[in-house]
């Protein structure tokens, strides 16, 4: 299956005088925004110190821009004053840091985005059809920057609380297939895929048995094999912290690919980069960066490959930045 992309991109404006000293990428949930759901003062100050020392600071999050703006409004400090860029939706969008990334007082338009990636309609339908036939519950997300909106498809009768919780969280922006529509479910899915798609989000509930990890790994391998021209990313649900989320993007989308393009535009290389993350969708970014760090709360298999900077609640991001810039 070919998952070619629809892509709008432009170079970052030349806001940095001279070549930066380096670039720092940090994941948000469970990393900068710790497991207790706040950003420590030490982390804020580390970002400030890095910028003062000539480093570019960037958050690379799986959250949509809408979701990030909502949580950013609750932080103790204005996060945009500590950042240069925001990579959101695991790389489907990139935007300059500014007042529009926090809260909803300032509107965001597509023209403000450095990058906005989307799936071709036929590719989105191919992937959606595969998920549907496999009996996997999923959402078809709208185009960036409106990709907090989605059509949801319950593909089987199995219990999936995390799936329904996500629908409730975004109830104002979520719609189901129309049971009264004379079109078949697949025909309705196809129509949704031709209305602009950033990604698909599939939610697999925890099995609660000894074979769960094997099943999840085999499912990811299967989908990556069938959708080999797509970017298929795995992450842990930020809602119940147990379900597996599978996101299907265009082949240009991942945290590392967006980081690479941004880094190159600033005349830097991966060697000049620090990346900090805590979950499976950060692995490609940590592997790409010259210096990759995880946190103590990360899955054991990630900690086998990347040194931990400490607990997220103990300002692991600050510790990693200090080691990197000193």
Same topology between domain 9-116+254-325 and domain 119-249: no
pTM of the full predicted structure?
Answer: 0.92
Query: For residue 168, is pLDDT > 90?
Result: yes
Alpha carbon distance 254, 287 (integer Å)? 12
Q: What mean pLDDT, rounded, does the chain reach?
A: 93
294 — pLDDT class (breaks 50, 70, 90): very high
Residues whose CB falls within 8 Å of the CB of residue 37, separated by 6 or more in sequence, listed in order = none
Domain 9-116+254-325 has CATH 3.40.50.1000: yes
278 close to 317: Cβ distance less than 8 angstroms: no
178 — pLDDT class (breaks 50, 70, 90): confident
Mind giving me the DSSP string for 79-99?
Answer: GGGG-SEEEEGGGTEEEE-SG
Alpha carbon distance 156, 316 (integer Å)? 41
Q: Which pLDDT tens digit goes with each residue over 209-250?
A: 778 889 999 999 999 999 988 999 999 999 999 999 999 999
Mean pLDDT across 72-77: 97
CATH code of the domain occupying 119-249: 3.30.1240.10
Query: For residue 14, is pLDDT > 50?
Result: no
């990346």: which residue's tokens? Answer: 275
Give Cα 228 distance to the centre of its chain: 19
CB crowding 95-107: b at 16 or more within 10 Å, else e: bbbeebbbeeeee
Please report the beta strands in the chain, taking only residues with DSSP state E, as ranges in sequence order: 5-9, 22-26, 55-60, 85-88, 93-96, 113-119, 138-141, 150-153, 174-176, 199-204, 231-236, 244-249, 273-276, 291-294, 307-308
CA quadruple 29, 30, 32, 33: dihedral positive or negative?
A: positive
| Of the candidate ranges 121-135, 168-182, 276-290, 296-310, the one whose mean pLDDT is the lowest | 168-182
Alpha carbon distance 39, 33 (integer Å)? 5
What 8-state DSSP symbol labels residue 267? T
**Confidence at residue 68, expressed as pLDDT on a 0 to 100 scale:** 98
91 close to 118: Cβ distance less than 8 angstroms: no
Q: Which two tokens stand for residue 217?
A: 């790994």
- Label residue 325 exposed, middle or buried (CB < 10 Å: 0-12, 13-18, 19+): middle
- What residues does each domain of the chain span? 9-116+254-325, 119-249
CA quadruple 228, 119, 7, 83: dihedral positive or negative?
A: negative
Q: Which pLDDT tens digit goes with each residue over 111-146?
A: 789 999 999 999 999 999 999 999 999 999 999 999
Query: For residue 182, is pLDDT > 80?
Result: no
Query: For residue 207, is pLDDT > 90?
Result: no
């Amino acid at each position: 299956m070919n998952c070619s992309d629809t892509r709008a991109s432009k170079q970052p404006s030349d806001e940095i005088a001279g070549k930066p000293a380096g670039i720092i990428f940090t994941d948000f949930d469970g990393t900068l925004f710790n497991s207790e759901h706040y950003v420590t003062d030490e982390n804020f100050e580390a970002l400030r110190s890095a910028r003062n020392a000539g480093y570019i600071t960037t958050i690379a999050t799986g959250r949509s821009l809408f979701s990030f703006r909502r949580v950013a409004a609750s932080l103790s400090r204005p996060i945009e004053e500590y950042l240069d860029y925001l990579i959101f939706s695991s790389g489907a969008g990139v935007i300059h840091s500014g007042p529009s990334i926090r809260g909803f007082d300032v509107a965001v338009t597509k023209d403000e985005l450095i990058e906005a990636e989307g799936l071709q309609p036929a590719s989105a339908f191919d992937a959606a059809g595969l998920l549907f036939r496999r009996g996997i519950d999923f959402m078809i997300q709208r185009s960036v920057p409106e990709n907090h909106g989605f059509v949801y498809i319950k593909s089987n009768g199995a219990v999936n609380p995390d799936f329904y919780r996500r629908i409730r969280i975004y109830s104002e922006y979520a719609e189901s297939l129309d049971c009264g529509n004379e079109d078949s479910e697949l025909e309705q899915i196809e129509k949704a895929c031709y209305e602009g798609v950033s990604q698909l989000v599939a939610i697999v509930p925890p099995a609660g048995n000894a074979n769960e990890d094997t099943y999840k790994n085999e499912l990811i391998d299967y989908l990556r094999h069938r959708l080999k021209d797509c970017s298929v990313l795995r992450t842990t649900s930020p809602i119940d912290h147990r379900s597996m989320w599978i996101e299907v993007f265009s082949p240009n989308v991942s945290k590392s690919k967006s980081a690479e393009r941004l880094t190159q535009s600033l005349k830097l290389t991966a060697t000049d980069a620090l990346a900090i993350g805590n979950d499976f969708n950060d692995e490609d970014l940590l592997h790409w960066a010259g210096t990759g760090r995880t946190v103590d709360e990360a899955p054991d298999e990630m900690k086998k490959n990347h040194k931990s900077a400490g607990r997220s609640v103990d300002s692991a991001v600050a510790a990693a930045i200090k080691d990197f810039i000193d």
